[in-house]
Amino acid sequence: MNVVIIGGVAAGPKAGSRVHRLCPEAQVTLIEKGEFLSYAGCGLPYYVSGVVKDQKELMCTPIGVVRDSVFFRNVKNVEVLNRTEATKVDRGSKEVTVVALESGKEEKISYDKLIFATGATPIVPPIEGTDLKNVFTLQNIEDSEGIKAALAEDKAKDVVIVGGGLIGLEMTEALAKKGCRVTIVEKLPQILPILDWEIAYQVSKYLEVRGVKVKTATTLTAIKGKERVESVVTDNGEVPCDFVIMSVGVRPNVFLAKDAGLEIGKTGGIKVNEMMQTSDPDIFAAGDCVESVDLVTGKPCFIPLGSTANKQGRVAANNACGFKDAFPGVLGSTVCKLFNFNIGRTGLGEMQAKEEGFDVVTVLSPAPDKAHFYPEAKPIMMKLVIDKNTRRLLGLQAVGLGVVDKRIDVAAMAITAKMTVDDIANLDLCYAPPYSPAMDNIITASNVARNKLDGRFQSVTPMEVKEKIDRGDDFVFLDVRSPGEYEEVRLDNTVLIPLGKLRGRLSEIPKDKEIITFCKISLRGYEAALILQTAGFKDVKVMDGGVVMWPYKIGK
């Protein structure tokens, strides 16, 4: 059996290695347009920053062997044609036409099974100046070498990163560590559109503390300079800079597949079934070039991730070799490190869930990631999205200085298993003070959700409170923190009555008004609401997340 694989970064090498294990007698040919094979593209920002010292580390096995063409030939029995471009797929004759980029020599390679792993291409906006020196994308090792060379020219530079997505933020850390002054320009009203607004705000706030300028709702219109970048022009003014990183997203590389007559999905990726099989039963596709299925909605989605590419490459190879396997879909589970700040998400956000027709309940739950008395405990802020009718968890977002990835992983498992918050609240998660609170953050947040769903208390979001303040609504915004906390950080339009004194000062609170209670994280706010309700107050609500998750400027 002849198996031809087009693409040699993530899904392609994984598929080739799997074919070798399942069908050792197969003739496997891997075609890669670039020079480098099987490298960790997600590690490129860390190579730029210097955390990863040597380029080869991105292409090595865990024991330090470089995965080059010799490695694939000798160990995997895969013939690699790198620096070779596939230019045409003839499905009738089952041949792939390839051209060697150095010699220009053209040849045709026959296949019995073909696997597309052509990846994605960076989006570069059609504006003036993108061809100037020191305008970069970060798609491959060659790009990272160009950025490192530019950084080497001077000790510090002014850098503009266009796009506030994951790669843009990871590059922000990498460049700041190299002494650069970084400005992020994002067209949307917030950075990280994979997060809900109030969670993304926490990331913006952290970036500003670290000295990074964040310009949202700002569109790049031109890049200026004579031979090299000197500034960028936006609809909100001009920003001087020495170089620019384009990080506005990627689109699936489907030109070859489209020319071959394969079906393209609604999201622009190659349409595949759960076997990673295209509209041609002898052709499979995997990785950033394909359209996936959202596990919650069942609808097509395009979420390019290295983890997904590797899993899909394995499934494609299994089925190409006649071993039935299925890839069910994705949740977009993602984690990102930004200096000392951690960012993670999985499943649906609030607005996405509402657009899909779910009756949504949300929970904002800030707390330490370990036992509060443990010296290394650090805060994390979580948002749960729950379906009110079924009580199922639909999504989780978490940010903060503490550990978020294990909470995201638990949530991904729970969403996949269609678990309710009642199920999650009683999960037998491990506990010891250096690792988590006695009741882990996701368990506590699930119990808050249960209390809401069961009608044990009413809540409002910080955004709803801000709208009430802006409208001039007549309500009591009751702060039950200590006087010391109040003096350190305070919200506008508040009345301070510490929780310990509330029972003795109930007469100061009007019973005919809406009362919204809060504290640092709103645990005391919840207790205050119970005191008020017991005392006969009828319209009492708790502000979710408290001061910690107030997504606006805070005075002192």
> Which sequence spans correspond to the domains of the chain?
2-39+58-120+251-320, 135-248, 334-453, 459-549
> What is 2-39+58-120+251-320's CATH number, 3.40.109.10, 3.30.70.270, 3.40.1390.10, 3.50.50.60?
3.50.50.60
Q: For residue 556, what pLDDT is reported?
A: 56
Q: What is the pTM of this model?
A: 0.93
Q: Does residue 419 contact residue 295 with C-beta atoms inside 8 Å?
A: no
307 CB neighbour count, 10 Å cutoff: 12
Nearest to 544 by CA among 386, 403, 426, 423: 386
- In whole angstroms, give the CA distance from residue 178 to residue 164: 19
Q: For residue 153, what pLDDT is reported?
A: 79
Q: For residue 72, what pLDDT is reported?
A: 86
Locate the DSSP E strands across 348-420: 360-368, 379-387, 393-400
- In whole angstroms, give the CA distance from residue 544 to residue 546: 6
DSSP letter at 94 equals T
Give the CATH superfamily of 135-248: FAD/NAD(P)-binding domain (3.50.50.60)
Same fold, 135-248 and 334-453: yes
Catalytic residue from among 42, 336, 430, 519 = 42
- In whole angstroms, give the CA distance from residue 376 to residue 370: 8
- In whole angstroms, give the CA distance from residue 60 to residue 39: 8
**HEC secondary structure over 192-247:** CCCCCHHHHHHHHHHHHHCCCEEECCCCEEEEECCCECCEEEECCEEEECCEEEEC
| Cα 420 off chain centre by | 24
List average pLDDT for each run of 10 residues in the chain, which is 556 residues long: 95 95 95 84 86 86 82 88 96 97 95 97 94 90 87 82 93 91 96 96 95 96 93 96 93 97 98 98 98 98 95 98 97 96 98 97 97 96 98 98 98 98 98 97 97 94 95 97 95 96 97 97 96 96 96 78
Structure tokens at 407: 């909470």
Instruction: Respond yes or no: is residue 430 known to be catalytic.
Output: no
- In whole angstroms, give the CA distance from residue 32 to residue 117: 10
Q: Classify domain 459-549 by CATH number.
A: 3.40.250.10
- CATH fold for the domain made of 334-453: FAD/NAD(P)-binding domain (3.50.50)
